[in-house]
Amino acid sequence: MLNSPYSFQLSDSSTVDLLSPAPLEDKILQRGGEELFIEKQPDRFTVAFASNRVEGSSGTLPIEGANFIENIPGVGVEFQVESGQLDTVMATLRTADEILSVSHVYQLRHTPETPIYLTNQLTLLFAESVTAEEMNAITAQVGLRVFKLVPGVPKAFVFQVSTEAAVNPIKLANRLMRHPSVLLAEPNLVVKLRSTALSQPSPENTLDQKNSGLSLKAAWQHTQGIPSVVVAVAEETIDLAQPVFQTGGKVVAPLVDWQERGERREERGREVGEVGMLDRVAPGCGVIPIAIGSFLDDAIVEWVYEWAIEKSASVLVCGWRAGLDYYPLSLRQQVALTRAATKGRRGKGCLVVYGVENDAVKRGGRLAAEAESNAGENALPHTDRPSLDGFALHPDVMTIAAVGSSQLVSDHDFDHDSDYDSGHDKATGISLCAPIWEDSSSTTAGTIVAGVAALVLSANPALTAWQVKQLLQTTADKMTHSDLPPNSQPKLPAYDAIGYSQAFGYGMVNALRAVLAAQQQVKPRQVVSRWIEQQVTIPVDIPDGDPQGIFTSIHIDAVERVCQIEVSVEIEHSFMGDLEIYLLPPNGTSILLQPRTAGRVNILRKTYTSNTTPLLESALNQPARGKWQLQLVDRVLMHTGRLKRWGLKVGV
């Protein structure tokens, strides 16, 4: 179990001693509104050297028995010692003048194959009522120095942990979470990326052979892309010497070194990579190649998404995979992603696409076997581990599942007795499927859909990112038995009333149908002639730890279509980060208004509109008449609360 049963609640800030240890402060990681159990690796540590020494240049330390492992960007140098010598070696090194800091290397419980490295950054979100003087007093007490704001989030800052701090950022976060003025405290962590190396016999032929439903060549009869539609491709390594980059005007604003740290990785014989695959799908579009290296943290994620905003990328395909099976997004990562999706492309939004392994791979495929082969004796079997991919579940991401390989689909994967029917994996986040082939990268599925999205925008550049997403979903082909490998006879999960499947999203992407739909002029939004406003003011308790939650409804009699919509809520809860809030319009579509990102907020007063919450766009142009429901789900036991009121304002 990853969620900690421990929480820290105090009502009087004068009783909080931030210099004294918090319960289990070195065993709990604050991340994405959750508390995750962690452990120290018994034989590894990192060293940050003074600025006058080149990071890891010699790979030696002023002590015997420490072996150089590798440089960790933003952290320092990783070393390994005999397990019984770790504490002694670290204590000795902390007295050396040439060393700024020495840190433990951590891991999630039962997943020792993926180390977690600490930077010197800590993100804090303060309560709305906290003054600047109070914030300064809190942070100065524990040795924090303000580094920058978190854009668009009031009272959220990134701090640097100074050398005056008594403990590391993980412990500091747990101590600060005891303070009633601190709503969220998250250390910035560095993790290795999971390899998504591409093995491709002939991408051009494969696209022809994999499915006629993709209809790529037919779509090319209408457009092969235009240069003003630019796709940003972020992956581990990019070789600008590839032939695909030699076409004049093809490359726009390449970014191939992370902060010029000099990190270079071997190409592993990758002749084409994700950029090459993109060129096979949308050859007329421009490309922004972004090489992020082999590690991931808040700063790198911010850097990628801000670059996409600055360079007006139309689509961003994220060709990475965090090495942790359980990876909730930090506040900084969520904010960076949402900014790109809503502020990019001069306000139309950058469509963010992310390719994922089919859940079958996580349970028994090649990645599971690869992970277990690298795990130690204390590791849980891969199939028993909780898994969560924060990028795939983010509401502003279009998540693409790879389908078509016998390694990805089998009888076990989608049997009616499997976890899909039991509700275990209801939050898959999958929007669409795309074809891949044996041993290719799951991120390739995302690249294919990113290319199709670029064709759609080439056909109609006025579309917003949300509109492109809707077109791709509504024009997708439903999966059938003929789409699966010959040796597989699974029981396909059913599509619901709106055509959505937990396993395959809205189906297999169809380039021709999407391009044709884009060519049909999108109807302009009608001007609101009148507003209909209703409220529910009777308080309702929210069931604790109940995945069904509660429903409360408002009925509207107007027969006109919805032009604009606003949903307002007022909620009291002892830990708002436990809650998810959904709106269910009369057509039955479930719209996520509030994910589990509110942290330790106790009162939530918020209005959601189609401008602030793009998912609400799906309720527009639909008949207003019928029952509108608000659903509140408390996902975690212990903390409780209630809905005080909610309101619906519909413009018709």
Residue of 288, 382, 282, 369 whose CA lies nearest to 326:
382
- What are 220-229's pLDDT values in tens digits? 999 999 888 9
Quick check: 621 pLDDT over 60? Answer: yes
Domain 205-519 and domain 531-651, same fold? Reply is no
Quick check: 429 pLDDT over 90? Answer: no
Q: How many whole angstroms separate alpha carbon 462 and alpha carbon 468? A: 10
Structure tokens at 357: 């392994």
Quick check: 414 pLDDT over 60? Answer: no
Quick check: 184 pLDDT over 70? Answer: yes
Q: How many whole angstroms separate alpha carbon 539 and alpha carbon 131? A: 31
Q: Percentage of the chain surpassing pLDDT 90? A: 46
Q: What is the pLDDT of residue 244?
A: 64
What pTM did the predictor assign?
0.72
More confident position, 512 or 435 = 512
pLDDT confidence band for 321 (50 / 70 / 90): confident
Residue 423 CB neighbour total at 10 angstroms:
11
263: Cβ–Cβ under 8 A, 6 or more apart, which residues?
A: 71, 73, 257, 293, 294
Question: pLDDT averaged over the chain?
Answer: 80
pLDDT confidence band for 586 (50 / 70 / 90): very high
Q: Are 580 and 629 in contact (CB under 8 A)?
A: no
Quick check: 133 pLDDT over 60? Answer: yes
Lowest-confidence region among 69-73, 409-413, 597-601:
409-413
Quick check: 552 pLDDT over 90? Answer: yes
Q: How many whole angstroms separate alpha carbon 89 and alpha carbon 92? A: 5
- What are 450-464's pLDDT values in tens digits? 999 999 999 998 889
Beta strands in 75-220 (DSSP E): 76-80, 99-108, 116-126, 144-149, 156-161, 182-192
Rg of the chain in Å (alpha carbons): 25
Q: What is the pLDDT of residue 306?
A: 93
Structure tokens at 131: 């003054």
- What are 190-218's pLDDT values in tens digits? 999 886 554 444 444 455 444 445 888 89
Mean pLDDT value of segment 513-524? 80
Q: Helix 203-210 and helix 273-281: axis angle, to 10°?
A: 50
Mean pLDDT value of segment 64-87? 90
More confident position, 6 or 77 = 77
Long-range contacts of residues 592-596, Cβ cutoff 8 Å, at least 24 apart: 592/395, 593/567, 593/569, 594/569, 595/393, 595/394, 595/395, 596/32, 596/33, 596/34, 596/635
Q: For domain 205-519, which CATH number applies: 3.40.50.200, 1.10.150.300, 3.40.140.10, 3.40.1280.10?
A: 3.40.50.200
pLDDT confidence band for 443 (50 / 70 / 90): confident
More confident position, 477 or 504 = 477
Burial of 480 (C-beta count, 10 Å sphere; 0-12/13-18/19+): exposed
Q: Of 253-262, 438-447, 550-559, which one has max mean pLDDT?
A: 550-559
Mean pLDDT value of segment 115-128? 95
Quick check: 95 pLDDT over 60? Answer: yes
Quick check: 323 pLDDT over 80? Answer: yes
* 239 phi, psi to nearest 5 deg: -105, 105
Q: What is the DSSP string of 65-85?
A: TPEEEEEETTTEEEEE--GGG
Q: What is the DSSP string of 233-275?
A: EEES---TTSGGGGSTT-B-S-B-SGGG-------TT-SSHHH
Q: What is the pLDDT of residue 498?
A: 80
Q: How many whole angstroms separate alpha carbon 75 and alpha carbon 295? A: 11
pLDDT confidence band for 634 (50 / 70 / 90): very high
Mean pLDDT value of segment 98-107? 92
Quick check: 486 pLDDT over 80? Answer: no
More confident position, 526 or 20 = 20
Mean pLDDT value of segment 154-176? 94
Place of tokens 């090194």: 93
Find residue 166's DSSP bridge partners. none
Q: Provide the sign of the torsion angle of the four alpha carbons 239, 243, 246, 248, taken in this order.
A: negative
Q: How many whole angstroms separate alpha carbon 597 and alpha carbon 586? A: 27
pLDDT confidence band for 263 (50 / 70 / 90): very low
Q: How many whole angstroms separate alpha carbon 544 and alpha carbon 639? A: 7
395: Cβ–Cβ under 8 A, 6 or more apart, which residues?
A: 592, 595, 615
pLDDT confidence band for 482 (50 / 70 / 90): low
Interior/surface letters 177-196, b for 16+ CB within 10 angstroms, e for the rest: bbbbbbbbbbbbbbbbbbeb
Structure tokens at 585: 């319009």
Lowest-confidence region among 72-81, 150-159, 252-261, 296-305:
252-261
Lowest-confidence region among 199-208, 522-531, 570-579:
199-208
Superfamily of structural domain 13-192: Peptidase S8 propeptide/proteinase inhibitor I9 (3.30.70.80)
Q: Residue type at 538? A: I
Domain residue ranges of the chain, discontinuous segments joined by +: 13-192, 205-519, 531-651
Residue 581 CB neighbour total at 10 angstroms:
25
Q: What is the pLDDT of residue 15?
A: 61
Q: What is the pLDDT of residue 243?
A: 67
Lowest-confidence region among 42-51, 437-446, 511-520, 617-626:
437-446
Q: For domain 531-651, which CATH number applies: 2.60.120.260, 3.20.20.80, 2.30.110.10, 1.10.3720.10?
A: 2.60.120.260
Quick check: 258 pLDDT over 60? Answer: no
pLDDT confidence band for 438 (50 / 70 / 90): low
Q: Are 402 and 140 in contact (CB under 8 A)?
A: no
Q: Percentage of the chain surpassing pLDDT 70? A: 76
Residue of 569, 566, 565 whose CA lies nearest to 542:
569
Q: Residue type at 114? A: T
Q: What is the pLDDT of residue 521?
A: 56
Mean pLDDT value of segment 348-377? 56
Q: How many whole angstroms separate alpha carbon 311 and alpha carbon 288? A: 8
Quick check: 86 pLDDT over 60? Answer: yes
pLDDT confidence band for 520 (50 / 70 / 90): confident
Q: What is the pLDDT of residue 505?
A: 86
103: Cβ–Cβ under 8 A, 6 or more apart, which residues?
A: 45, 46, 48, 75, 76, 117, 118, 168
* 542 phi, psi to nearest 5 deg: -100, 120
- What are 10-63's pLDDT values in tens digits? 445 556 778 888 889 999 999 998 999 999 999 999 999 876 444 444 456 777
